[in-house]
Structure 1
């Protein structure tokens, strides 16, 4: 991707047209540690709706992520609060 805007557009495209493919972009969010890209990815992912696949990605982030991004952590926490209620 040339810039963050293109990546954000790709996430949006996948959310609208190919929701099941959005989780595959988790590997990209691991590779590109830009905070705003990761935030955009997790924001889109949390809006897809709950599924086992989304749960696994969110949990993997909370457990294994080595980069401090409190905004993404908040998205994951809010996702689980919503799903578990």
Structure 2
């Protein structure tokens, strides 16, 4: 399963892709606290699809254009 993350703007987005289709996605307007909002939303989407975090095999992160800080947040979360 692939986790896609976009934190480049005020609109945050995450999606799960498995096989040949998007399994789940979530897009929301962030309140300026990307670091606080992102991890709980990923945990929530994983619970909704009934998969453990360990089922994520790859992570893709949008790298811009966009807010430098927002981009760093997405990349840092992906790196762990």
Instruction: Tell me the TM-score normalised to structure 2 length.
Output: 0.34
Q: Which has the higher contact order (CA 8 A, sep 6+)?
A: 2
Bigger share in strand: 2
Instruction: Tell me the TM-score normalised to structure 1 length.
Output: 0.33
Bigger share in helix: 1
